[in-house]
Amino acid sequence: MADEKPKSNLPPLSLHVPEPNFRPGDTVDYSGLEIPAAGAQARPDINTKPKDMRDMVDDMIRVLDDDHAAVGPWDPKLDDETLLKMLRTMVQVRTFDDRLHRQQRQGKTSFYMKCTGEEATSVAAAMALHADDMCFPSYRQQGILFVRGYPLTEMVNQIFSNKADKLKGRQLPIMYSSRELNFFTVSGNLTTQYPQAVGWAMASASKGDSRIAAVWCGEGSTAEGDFHAAMTFAAVYNAPVIMNIVNNQWAISSFSGFAGAERATFAARGAGYGIAALRVDGNDPLAVYAATRWAAERARTNQGPTLIEHFTYRAEAHSTSDDPTAYRSAQEREEWPLGDPINRLNKHLIQRGVWSDEQQEALDAECLEAVKEAVKEAAKNGILGHGLHQPFETMFQDVFEEMPWHLKEQAAQANKEREIKWPS
């Protein structure tokens, strides 16, 4: 009853509110973070039952050791050409991010999101998939488009929402889409892509196709209902899908503890559903590639879905609308013990004797020039506020094959009001 007094012999209940280890101004100490030695993780067969590999959810797959060599059973044994392509693509992504972030600060677009420090989770993963596998990204997987050869100028057109934007200004900047490259439209609504990916994978299996699906979300998004609905369907129907959780430690202003990180790893959520699950060093491109390839082989041979937690760090702000100095220590990025994915692959290639600091400088310069040229070309089609945008009537198009009467009426009314307000 509402007026009933608490029992005097019971302790009062208390609520736990997660609190990050470090706040602005704090000294960062990651000594309590358990990071296993590279190469120490066993690589189970792809037909291993999920219940027999539950120890993987608390381990961490690592390939590159402290001497920058690839070691252990998860070493994917990639050739120099593939590794150099991986390095080049990650550099392209980071250079693009830096340049387009600057365009937002100059007022040429309204919004931008970088994936600095997380490039391996999209680039290395995409390289381990087939080109016709369907990808359902979140908003930090632009690396998939780079791997699959999407033109830089087209990406900038979308960011500028100009007259050449193939999405006709209907999406926020960086929310790309490419049917041709099997890249599902990015959604600003968190984790909607998870049930969509599982549904697509189920459809592929029901048709007897050979293509699989891969989907990404951040660790914070695993608290959404869509995530758990997708996990249930994937487990029940043995869907051929790879479910990636990019655990970059932070949502826009709340740390991973609010999504459950204090209780268990995010990979453990896979084990709870009876799904094969791996936990991977997300800043080790070779480990990401190897884990994705393992999961893809598993899916293609009807062994079921795999959940992969990529343990990484968001080095920059959540977006151009965010200021991380307000809620986390500036030392976190500097002290992050798993390093930087580009630097780690660079040092590995130098260790292999196929790369040098001079070649890296040349690559950086080459990528910067390519991005500058793409921005210059896209700007010819208009930037934010220039007025070189999609025709007014396009906002009523492309929803129905034939425009219904009520949309025709709305379009006519909108045009009438537009002529009154802006007769010129």
Q: Does the pLDDT of residue 4 top 90, yes or no?
A: no
Confidence of residue 392 (pLDDT cuts 50, 70, 90): confident
Burial class (CB in 10 A: 0-12, 13-18, 19+), 36: middle
Residues 290, 412, single domain; the answer is no
What does the pLDDT look like over 224-234, one tens digit per residue? Answer: 999 999 999 99
Residues 321, 407, single domain; the answer is no
> Which pLDDT belongs to residue 399?
86
State how far the Cα of 121 lies from the Cα of 244, in Å rounded to an integer. 9
Confidence of residue 387 (pLDDT cuts 50, 70, 90): confident
Considering only CA atoms, which of 94, 300, 301 is closest in space to residue 212?
300
> Which pLDDT belongs to residue 335?
95
Residue 318 annotated to the active site: yes
Least confident among 182-186, 268-272, 414-418: 414-418
CATH code at position 284: 3.40.50.970
Percent of the chain with pLDDT over 90: 90
Residues 357, 397, single domain; the answer is no
Residues 155, 256, single domain; the answer is yes
- List, as one string, the DSSP characters of 305-325: -EEEEEE----S-SSTT--GG
Q: Does the pLDDT of residue 388 top 90, yes or no?
A: no
Residues 264, 413, single domain; the answer is no
Burial class (CB in 10 A: 0-12, 13-18, 19+), 129: buried
Q: Does the pLDDT of residue 281 top 60, yes or no?
A: yes
Active-site residue (options: 279, 318, 344, 348)? 318
User: Does residue 42 form part of some domain?
Assistant: no
Confidence of residue 53 (pLDDT cuts 50, 70, 90): very high
Token digits of residue 240: 């051929």
> Which pLDDT belongs to residue 2?
62
List of residues 6+ apart from 282 with CB closer than 8 A: 118, 120, 121, 246, 247, 248, 288, 310, 311, 312, 338, 341
> Which pLDDT belongs to residue 222?
96
User: Does residue 29 form part of some domain?
Assistant: no
> Which pLDDT belongs to residue 137?
98
What is the mean pLDDT of the segment spanning 114-119?
98
Residues 349, 412, single domain; the answer is no
State how far the Cα of 368 lies from the Cα of 94, in Å rounded to an integer. 10
User: Does residue 255 form part of some domain?
Assistant: yes
What does the pLDDT look like over 298-346, one tens digit per residue? Answer: 999 999 999 999 999 999 999 999 999 999 999 999 999 999 999 999 9
First to last CA, the chain: 69
> Which pLDDT belongs to residue 253?
86
What is the mean pLDDT of the segment spanning 365-381?
98
Residue 327 annotated to the active site: yes
142 close to 148: Cβ distance less than 8 angstroms: no
The runs of H, that is alpha helices, within 185-284 are 193-206, 225-237, 268-272
219 close to 246: Cβ distance less than 8 angstroms: yes
Residues 407, 342, single domain; the answer is no
Our count of domains for the chain comes to 2
- Residue 23's Cβ-side half-sphere holds a number of Cα atoms within 13 Å equal to 2
User: Does residue 354 form part of some domain?
Assistant: yes
pTM of the predicted structure, to 2 decimals:
0.95
> Which pLDDT belongs to residue 204?
98
Number of CB atoms found within 10 A of residue 66's CB: 7
Which structural domain, as residue segments, surrounds residue 409? Answer: 392-421
Residues 343, 399, single domain; the answer is no
User: For residue 249, is it left (φ>0), alpha (ψ between -120 and 50) or beta?
Assistant: left
67 close to 35: Cβ distance less than 8 angstroms: no
Q: Does the pLDDT of residue 3 top 70, yes or no?
A: no
> Which pLDDT belongs to residue 1?
55
Q: Between these two residues, 394 and 44, which has the higher pLDDT value?
A: 44
Token digits of residue 304: 């079921």
Per the document, the length of the chain is 424
Number of CB atoms found within 10 A of residue 352's CB: 13
State how far the Cα of 131 lies from the Cα of 134, in Å rounded to an integer. 8
> What type of residue is 282?
G
Active-site residue (options: 101, 211, 314, 389)? 314
User: Does residue 3 form part of some domain?
Assistant: no
Residues 358, 414, single domain; the answer is no
User: Does residue 44 form part of some domain?
Assistant: no
Residues 352, 248, single domain; the answer is yes
State how far the Cα of 389 lies from the Cα of 370, in Å rounded to an integer. 24
> Which pLDDT belongs to residue 6?
67
Residues 370, 398, single domain; the answer is no
What does the pLDDT look like over 58-69, one tens digit per residue? Answer: 999 999 999 999
User: Does residue 346 form part of some domain?
Assistant: yes
Residues 398, 373, single domain; the answer is no
User: Does residue 304 form part of some domain?
Assistant: yes
Residue 348 annotated to the active site: no
Q: Quick one: which H or E segment has residue 213?
A: strand 213-218
Considering only CA atoms, which of 91, 118, 122, 109 is closest in space to residue 156?
109
